[in-house]
Structure 1
Amino acid sequence: MSDTESFQSKRKEAQLRYTHRTLRSIFKHLPFGIICLDEKLRVLYGNFGGLRFEGGKTPYLPTVDLMGKYFHESLPFIDPAQLEVVETTIKKVFDEGAPITLTIRHETSTGPVFHELWIKPEKDKTGNVVSVLGIAHDISQIKRSEEALFDSEQKYRSMIENALVGIFIHQDGKIQFANKRFCDICGYTYEELVNKKSALDLIHPDEFGGPCQEKTTLFRSDQNSISGVHLNIQKKDGTTVKVSILGGNITYKGRPAICHNVLDITEQARVQEELQHKTAVLEAQLNASPDGIVVTNNDEVILQNRRVSELFKIPPEIEMDLPKQEKWVWDMLKHPEKAKEQVAFVYEQPDKISRAELELNDGRILDIFSGPVLGKDGRAYGRIATHRDITEQKRSELALRARQIQLSQAMELANIVYWELDLSTYEFILNDPFYALHGTTAEQEGGYRMTGNDYVNRFMHPDDQPRYFQLARETAEQPWNSAFPDFEHRIIRRDGNIRHIVSRVRLVRDDDGATVKVYGTTQDITERKQMESAVQESEALFRKVFEESPLGMLMADADLRFIRVNEAFCNMLGYSEQELGDLAFKDILHPEHMAEHKRYMADLINGAAPVHRAEKPYLRKDKELVWACATISVIRDGTGRFLYFLSTVEDVTRQKKVQEEKIRLESQLRQVQKMEAVGTLAGGIAHDFNNMLGVILGHADLALNDVDPRHALHANIKEIRNAAERSADLTRQLLAFARKQTVTPKVLDLNQTIEGMLKMLRRLIGEDIELSWLPGSEVWPLKIDPSQIDQILANLCVNARDAIQNMGKLTIETGTASMDEDDCHGHVALIPGEYVLLVVSDNGKGMDQKTMEKIFDPFFTTKQVGKGTGLGLATVYGIIKQNNGFVYVYSEPGYGTTFRIYLPRYSGKEDPLEKRSQAAPLLGGHETILLVEDEPAILNMARMALEKYGYQVLPAVSPKEALLMAKTHRGTIDLLLTDLVMPQMNGKKLADTLMPLCPKLKYLFMSGYTANVIAHHGVLDDGVNFLQKPFSAQVLITKVHEVLNDA
């Protein structure tokens, strides 16, 4: 080996030795122990120098001393039980090949020692565990710190859990911790609160948005500390708890949070509120007191109410300045020196009660009552004084004394009987009025004193003396402080006159209730007794009148219940007196009138009306209605207080029915009068209108005769004539309604007349309506213009046709009817007698009562505009009345309508009905005709027509001119053709006037209506020639020819 190699080898050995020494030194001084074990738990190497066991020291064992030893032999100072746990753990590391950490505890004389042992497997290249390395370090200090911390935490937790206030930690918007008290306050469990509820969730909803809104924002951050916030929180069960919250910033689990202390102040708030209420009530009572109240301690005023300032008129600006206020009060006193004496007395004897009167400068007098404020220990802690204004009381007392003096003098002057009882001698002391009442004088009776027995023997009526002695015995058994009853009795005056008197006794007692004076008055009540007797007689008379009155009488209380009823009232309603005693007005009065009745009764009670009279329907026991006129008044006592209602009730049911019947008949009469008036108007209109139509028809006929039928004007003129004819039909209907239509009545058989019309009527009503003809047997003859029967049936059938919708039935019947006085009762137009009956009925839609009342009015129609004239039924009505008949209508909506027409039976000789002659050709003549017409147009038309057919015409526009013309005419006048109604003289009188001048004169009257001149009610007298306006030229020529050639 060369020197170099040798040097290198020694150098490496030296380095190796140095490294070994260095590592050994480090290994020896490590602060923890190291041990390496093979699979048999033999020590390969190790060092425990860094561990502390007994006494804080561990004997140093070098590795060489440990090598080869078993583990349990290397650590003899370890507790065997702990050593066994370690060996078991080491074996587990060998078996499982994973490191394990465990803590072992070793008890020493100075306390337990803790080591943390980390056992790690050492593996070969194949992964098999060949050894384990154990590293142990002393953690006793850490363990002691942990235990101290645990103990501290336990103490802290115990304090927190058992605290009287609720505590919770709020962090990240949630409650992170809550103690038991806080859970109890909220009513939640710990689990329901922590990490689930926010403080905002517990605040009562009413706190948001109100005055506490600002406070609630403090819980929205974990950086806000809270100091003394009062809030309402809502418990889990919904109830409210008032709390006071104090919170501060803390660090909880390494982050900012707020710890809150929560105190339940619900009861405190209630007590405080109750105290505030009591204080407010006390202050209100003090301020409401009419007395001024001052409370002082031993040094100064501590409380006074507003009344003190009012009594002493203390200005508001010094009310809070006690020195100025005190000076003001002293200045108000009229005699301050007396007040100072009273104050001195109070300070000298603070436990005594004092009372004094203070007079103020303005004349008022105050009553001062002062007493000590005593504690439970009996010590006086101050005084309370009341100040009462007794100015008016003092004035009243002075006035009362003056009045007593005046009263005493007045009693003497007014001769009022007054007496006193001398309690020492039991003698009555009397005054002069007493003796005057008894018809004597004091001198005559031996002076102004008298015993009770003397009074009885001298003046009391013998019959009343037993009652007096009985009362005296009863009174003697009672104490003197008892009240005495009034005593009424009779006296016999010295002149023998008997009077009724009443004696009233009054007692005066002292403060202890003992009687110190007995006095009384005696009053003459003779007149009152007489009045009472008169009242009793009056009551007896009233009772007799009430019970025996033929009118119903009753008494009722304020609730309208019957107190008393008489027999007449019971009979009127069908109840017994006992039954009515259980009833009230509401049980007998028709319900529709009850509310009004109560209102009137209230007015009577209130005095708004002295008496109430009214007719009302009442309900009998059998539910029948009875009408009665009730007069109700109020009976009051002497003070005006309501006692009862007194009512007289008269049964007016019969009078009511008579009145209703009268009203109904008057209504019928007014209807008849109205129809008469309308008829008169219609007749007048028709008359004037007929004159115009006559002119039109006449000139149209003349024109038609002069115009070639082939000429265009011929057709136009014919249309004018047709229109005039239709207008004439309307005027005839008006005249028929007005009974001004001039007719020619004939005796006829109604059945035959109707049978002759049936074909025409069936065409009129149409095929959809069945016409049923039911003729009566042995129908009496009838005298009427046949054309009027035509008009009646035509109008009624048209009316029925319009009332039937689609299919229907119309029935015509005839018969007879006899009416006596009873049948005519209640019907203005009906006259007793025998009648021919015509009945027309349909099953159409019918009519209501309102429509039925108007159906005979002219121009009234239920049809559409332009569909009817409204004259059909008016015409029927006029024809029936013109023939002295009457009509009744029966109808209900939905049940059809029936017209029953009664026409008078004809009892005279029956004339055969003349057959209507066929129209003959127009024939003219050469006779002279005096034509009189006040209407120039008609005069001119008639003249032209007559002259055209060869007649000589003398036209006159007035009766006067006609008379003059008749006198001056040299030839014969064959015919007088005159209007009936003219000024100055009517046509009938003109004819009578001309008869002496022209004895053979024939006459023909013409008119739109007759005005009863030649016809009675429009019925033409026999033998009278009449021409109805309007007429055509052809009708005029025909009628003139007929009259002139009539033999």
Structure 2
Amino acid sequence: MAAAAVVMVFAGSWIMAAGFLAAAIVGVAITVAWRLLAPVAGTGPRAVDWNLTRAVAGASGDAVAITDRAGRLVCANDSYELIFDGFPTPPSLPLDDEANAALAEAAREAWREGIARVDGVEAMDATLGVSIIRAGDEADMLVWRFEPKRERDRADAARSLIAGPTGDRLGEAGIMAALVSPDGHVLAANPVLARRALGRPGTINGRDIVDMLMTDSRGLVRFEREGLEGTPLRLLQVPFLDDEQAPLLVMILDDRDDAAGIREGASATEHVRSLVSLMPFGMALVDRDGRFMQMNESFLRAAGVDAESIPLYPGDLVVREDKAAVADAIRRFASGATHSTDMAVRLKDHPDEPVALTIAGARGLGDAAVLLSLKNNSEETRLKREVAQATKMQAVGQLAGGVAHDFNNILTAILGHCDLMLMRHSPGDSDYDDIQQIRTNSNRAASLTRQLLAFSRQQTLRPQVLQLPDVVSEVSTLLKRLMGETVRLDVSHGRGLGAVRADPGQLEQVVVNLAVNARDAIMSANPGGGGTLTIHTRAVSAAEVREMAIDILPPADYTALSVTDTGAGIPPEILPKIFEPFFTTKETGKGTGLGLSTVYGIVKQSGGWIFADSRPGQGATFTMYLPVHADTGAPALRIAPPPKPAVRVREMWGQGTILLVEDEDMVRAVAERALTRQGYTVLTAENGEVALELLREAARPDLLISDVVMPTMDGPTMVRHVRERYPDLPVLFMSGYAEEQLRNSIDIDNVAFLPKPFSVQQLADATRDVLAGA
């Protein structure tokens, strides 16, 4: 406006001044609009503040280190430097070879699964538990946490209790307590005992407890500092550990009664009751007549007894078979027996779970004559039982896998001979139907073999990255037919499901097996009325897994599939056995007992977990958790396509020389005849060493077909020697073992794989495909 006024004064034209003012207003408006509408420049990804990261890691008492995708150490805290005397890069740490190998394997698992753990790593006079977690905005970092195992025995725990707040509480109750070594030196004492012994606040740790006490002519014990005028004392020694070299828990009580009433004094009884109630482990007092005088809270919990219904005699806690033994032991110790004894007894409310009962004679505890200590070791027993069960399942799995592998060789020979005979017969021949029936039965046997391999987690998988809803959709039509008219199928899918990596055919078998079991449960509970089978998929985050608090399910992102029925449910005594092989609740002849064990094997080999949850009368739910797939770039073997049904073998002619190496004579003979009929020149060898001798004399073959596991020299070892001479020679491996096992043993490029059992046509197709791609 000022500028317009100047123009008006000097130019003398209000039109020119108005135009100048309008132009200025338009310019200002354009500038403001441009500033408001112009996009804000992106700030880009924020750089990691490693100083802040190191400060956060330093706040942890554990050793923490971070490595990147290239295996470089990018950050570590002071505890890490202290434990490893510097900053070595994990997993190459100053440990033994076995520990470093375990850490390297765990790191690979963490890159693949997102989390891994190794326990029992010995380093610098410390036992470490190592957890590895994949982290970062792009999941390109590994966070290593080394946790020292601070295991303390019961003596250390007692020392902390006496010297801490518990010791103060004992002092308030008039109880002086000390933990004394076998040679009489004080390891720990509560403040009231130190004050009485010294006459002032202080510590008596390391002093001989006998030097602080004295006895008079009547045998009464007093503090040396207080002399004969001091209050008489009552000393109680509690050997709470079995080891003769273990420390003793010494309790010192004031006894203001006269000498005649020392043993039966009321004040001593009150002190003892206070002492027992404060003990952190299960203790009870029994009088000379064998009746309970007192139980502390720990004893009540271990015995499973309600405080309102405490039994009269210890024998009332145990089953009828153990009553006599408990009563005899209490009678013996109440009559003056020394030392103590341990007994394994079964509680009346839990007859299947033995518990440890310690019985000791009591002296100087007022009316009490016997001291009982009860330890409920049901959790320990359960863990032992689970370990034994896992060992048994592993042994059965190894046996099943070995039998199935050998059976695959036999089936390969049977199917091969059937195919060769079918080449000489047409559908109208008299023998054609018999040969076809043999082939059909052999395929059924191959299916059973795949079930055994699935149970033992050794079947050959053809994993793909897929979505669980797609798998359910593929079998939904089949499921509707299997459910029949009376069972309603309800399928629903959650949002945001992550992709999983698994064999779609095997997952379809999992869904079908679970659905058929659910249908049978529904029909068994309500034969006429039917019920509902519900299949639901959903996403499960790592935070939800932590809230579930399932010990064996590591925190990670999962895609879950649950199958729920409205049947009668699974009894609690049967639920732990349902995944065992050959276990079935169906009538004889109506179930093999391999359905759920096959499901379990497929899920575990796919890297997942499966759980069963059921309450009698409320149906059952089977939930499968598969980890969300994260592409790690792991190499995979090329797998030949799955078997295709064929009525007549097609004639496919080829040319070239093939070296066939197979230790099983029957398989080698069938494969040789099949390849020869296809037009190939076939050289055979029964093991790797013979094959190498043959190659020294013969010309270079066009293809090497070899079994993987052979005596003398296995297939991969032989191929490595052959590749030294012929680096580009194509190789086709054939085996009945799992792809995962083969990947661990075959680190060779340009190899294909044909799973056993295979037909003549499948062998011909695989051979043609490998030669075409060479």
Match of 2:702 in 1: 974
1:1038 to 762, 765, 768: 765
Amino acid at match of 1:604: F
Post-superposition CA distance 1:748-789 (Å, at most 9, x none): 011122112101111123222111102111111101011111
Q: Give matches, 1:955-1034, under 5 Å.
A: 955-970=684-699, 972-1010=700-738, 1014-1016=742-744, 1024-1034=751-761
TM-score normalised per structure 1:
0.42
Partner residue of 2:454?
736
Q: For the residues of structure 2 that align with 1:615 and 1:1025, how far apart are their CA atoms?
A: 59
TM-score, length-normalised on structure 2?
A: 0.56
Q: What's the CA shift for 1:729?
A: 0.6
**Deviates further, 863-872 or 882-891:** 863-872
Deviations 1:211-251 (A, max 9, x none): xxxxxxxxxxxxxxxxxxxxxxxxxxxxxxxxxxxxxxxxx
Alpha-carbon separation, structure 2, partners of 1:628 and 1:947: 72
1:65-93 Cα offsets, whole Å, 9 max, x none, are xxxxxxxxxxxxxxxxxxxxxxxxxxxxx
Map residues 467-482 of structure 1 onto 2, 5 A cutoff.
none
CA distance in 2, matches of 1:615, 1:725: 54
In structure 2, how many angstroms separate the alpha carbons of the residues matched to 1:915 and 1:635? 80
Q: CA separation in 1, counterparts of 2:345 and 2:581?
A: 39
For residues 811-835 of structure 1, the C-alpha deviation after alignment (integer angstroms, 9 at most, x for no partner) is: 11111223468568663x4222221
Tell me by how many angstroms 1:876 deviates. 0.6
- Contact 2:465-2:500 within 8 A present in 1 as well: yes
Question: What SS does the aligned partner of 2:732 have?
Answer: strand
Please give the residue correspondences for 1:477-556 in structure 2 after superposition, counting only pairs within 5 Å.
530-534=217-221, 539-541=233-235, 544=253, 547=271, 549=275, 550-551=278-279
* Change beyond 3 A, Cα 1:922–1:760: farther
Whole-Å Cα distance in 2 between the matches of residues 715 and 919 of structure 1?
A: 16
User: Is 2:658 the counterpart of 1:923?
Assistant: no
* Partner deviation per Cα, 1:165-186 (whole Å, 9 max, x = no partner): xxxxxxxxxxxxxxxxxxxxxx
Secondary structure, counterpart of 1:757 in structure 2: helix
| 2:5 aligned partner | none
Cα gap change, 1:644 to 1:797, in 2 (>3 Å): same
Distance change >3 Å, CA 750–CA 857, structure 1 → 2 = same
* 1:731 to partner: Cα distance: 0.5
Identity among equivalent pairs (%) = 36
Q: Report the residue type matching 2:601 in the other structure.
A: G
Q: 1:476 — aligned with what?
A: none
Counterpart Cα distance in 2 of 1:618 and 1:706? 74
8 Å Cα contact 2:475/2:512 also seen in 1:
no
Within the candidate set 662, 681, 692, 1:952 is matched to 681
Deviation at 1:1010, TM superposition (A): 4.1
Q: Which residue of 1 aligns with 2:161?
A: none
Q: Distance in 1 between matches of 2:575 and 2:721?
A: 50
| Native 8 Å contact 2:640 2:754 kept in 1 | no
Is the CA contact (8 Å cut-off) linking 1:1005 and 1:1025 kept in structure 2?
yes
Which whole-Å CA distance do the structure 2 matches of 1:957 and 1:843 have between them? 57
- How far did residue 908 of structure 1 move? 2.4
Which residue in the other structure is 2:661 paired with? 932
User: 1:396-415 counterparts in 2 under 5 A?
Assistant: none
Q: Is the 8 A contact 1:976 1:1004 kept in 2?
A: yes
RMSD: 4.2
The CA deviation at 1:589 is: 8.9
Could you say which residue in structure 2 is the equivalent of 1:445?
none
The aligned runs of 1:784-823 (5 Å cut-off) are 784-805=502-523, 806=527, 807-819=530-542
Cα deviation for residue 969 of structure 1 reads 1.0
Deviations, residues 324-358 of structure 1 (Å, cap 9, x unaligned): xxxxxxxxxxxxxxxxxxxxxxxxxxxxxxxxxxx
Distance 1:1011 1:897 in 2: 33
Corresponding residue SS for 2:617: coil
Secondary structure, counterpart of 2:218 in structure 1: helix
Check the 8 A contact 1:800/1:844 in 2, yes or no: yes
Q: Residues 682 and 734 of structure 1 are in contact (CA less than 8 Å); yes or no, is this contact kept in structure 2?
A: yes
Q: How do 1:397-436 and structure 2 match up within 5 A?
A: none
After superposition, where does 1:237-252 map in structure 2 within 5 Å? none
Matched, 1:904 2:627: yes
Report whether the alignment pairs 1:558 with 2:288. Answer: yes
Is the 8 Å Cα contact of residues 553 and 646 (structure 1) preserved in structure 2? Answer: no
Q: Determine the C-alpha separation between the residues in 2 that align with 1:904 and 1:1036.
A: 34
Distance 1:930 1:885 in 2: 40
User: What secondary structure, in the 3-state scheme, does the structure 2 residue paired with 1:978 have?
Assistant: strand
Is contact 2:467–2:497 with CA below 8 Å preserved after alignment? yes
Report the residue type matching 1:801 in the other structure. Answer: R
> Where in structure 2 are the equivalents of 1:581-592 lying within 5 Å?
586=312, 591-592=317-318
Q: Could you list the per-position Cα deviations for residues 358-388 of structure 1 after superposition, in whole angstroms to 9, with x for gaps in the alignment?
A: xxxxxxxxxxxxxxxxxxxxxxxxxxxxxxx
What is the alpha-carbon distance in structure 2 between the residues aligned to residue 1023 and residue 758 of structure 1?
Answer: 38
Give, as a single letter, the amino acid of the residue that structure 2 aligns with 1:726: R
Residue 774, structure 1, aligned to residue 492, structure 2: yes
Aligned CA distance change for structure 1 residues 963 and 1008 (closer, same or farther; 3 Å):
same
Q: Can you give the 5+ residue segments of structure 2 that lack an aligned partner in the other structure? A: 1-214, 223-227, 237-251, 255-267, 302-306, 349-354
1:948 maps to amino acid: R
Query: By how many angstroms is 1:614 displaced?
Result: 6.2
- 1:691 equivalent in alignment to 2:412: no
Instruction: Determine the C-alpha separation between the residues in 2 that align with 1:571 and 1:783.
Output: 49
The alpha-carbon deviation at position 538 of structure 1 amounts to: 6.5
Corresponding residue for 2:432?
Answer: 714
Output the amino acid matched with 1:869.
T
The SS at the match of 1:865 is coil
**Residue 246 of structure 1: aligned partner:** none
How far does residue 843 in structure 1 lie from its aligned partner after superposition?
1.5
Per-residue displacement from partner, 1:287-306 (whole Å, max 9, x unpaired)? xxxxxxxxxxxxxxxxxxxx
CA gap 1:708/1:629 in 2 versus in 1, 3 angstroms: closer
Distance 1:648 1:954 in 2: 83
* Residue pair 2:283, 2:374 contacting (<8 A) in 1 also: no
- The C-alpha deviation readout for 1:92-144, integer Å capped at 9, x for no partner, is xxxxxxxxxxxxxxxxxxxxxxxxxxxxxxxxxxxxxxxxxxxxxxxxxxxxx
- Contact in 1 for aligned 2:640/2:766 (Cα 8 Å): no
Which of 712, 727, 751 is matched with 2:469 structurally? 751
The answer on whether the counterparts of 2:339 and 2:361 sit within 8 Å (CA) in structure 1 is yes
Aligned residue number for residue 857 of structure 1: 580
Q: What is the CA-CA distance between 1:964 and the residue it aligns to?
A: 1.3
Contact (CA 8 Å) 1:775, 1:813: kept in 2 or not? yes
* Partners of 2:602 and 2:310 in 1: CA distance: 58
- Tell me by how many angstroms 1:541 deviates: 4.2
Displacement of 1:853: 2.5
Residues 707 and 866 of structure 1: is their aligned pair in 2 closer, same or farther, counting only changes over 3 Å? same
> For the structure 1 residues 929 and 651, does the alpha-carbon distance in structure 2 shift closer, same or farther, using more than 3 Å as the test?
same
Rounded Cα–Cα distance in structure 2 between residues aligned with 1:607 and 1:855: 52
Q: Distance in 2 between matches of 1:826 and 1:665?
A: 15
Structure 1 residues 831, 590: CA separation in 2 closer, same or farther (over 3 Å shift)?
farther
Deviation at 1:926, TM superposition (A): 0.4
Report the AA paired with residue 544 of structure 1: L
Alpha-carbon offset, residue 591 of structure 1: 4.7
The structure with the larger Rg is 1
Q: Please tell me whether the aligned partners of residues 779 and 815 of structure 1 are also in contact (alpha carbons under 8 angstroms).
A: yes
Taking structure 1 as reference, are residues 635 and 727 closer, same or farther at Cα in structure 2, changes over 3 Å only? Answer: same
Greater relative CO (CA pairs within 8 A, separation 6+): 2
Q: Distance in 1 between matches of 2:289 and 2:557?
A: 61
CA spacing shift, 1:748–1:585, aligned 2, 3 Å: closer
The CA deviation at 1:602 is 2.9
Is 2:369 the counterpart of 1:646?
Answer: yes
* Alpha-carbon distance in 1 for matches of 2:512, 2:284: 64
Count of aligned residue pairs for this structure pair? 490
In structure 2, the CA distance between the partners of 1:608 and 1:936, relative to structure 1 (3 Å rule), is same
Shift in CA distance, 804/733, structure 1 to aligned 2, threshold 3 Å: same
2:618 to 876, 891, 895: 895
Is this contact kept in 2: 1:837–1:901, CA < 8 A?
A: yes
Q: Which amino acid aligns with 1:943?
A: E
Structure 1 residue 801: deviation in Å?
Answer: 2.0
- Does the CA contact (< 8 Å) of 2:708 and 2:714 recur in 1? yes
